[in-house]
Structure 1
Amino acid sequence: MKKKTAKADVADVKKAAKIASVKAEGKKPSMALAVASLIINAFLLPGLGTSLGGKTKQGILQLVIFVGGFLIGIFATLMAVLTMAVSSISGIILAFLAISGGAMMLAGWIWAIISGAMLVREASL
Structure 2
Amino acid sequence: MKAARSDVLIGAHLTLGLARHVLVAAIILRDHDERTSHHRYGGTAHDAWAARLATAPTPHDRASITAAIRHYTAVLGDLLAERGITPRGGPGPLWRLLDAVDSAPRIGCCDTADRRGGG
- Please, what TM-score do these two structures have when normalized by structure 2? 0.30
Asked which structure has the greater CA Rg, the reply is 1
TM-score normalized with structure 1 length: 0.29
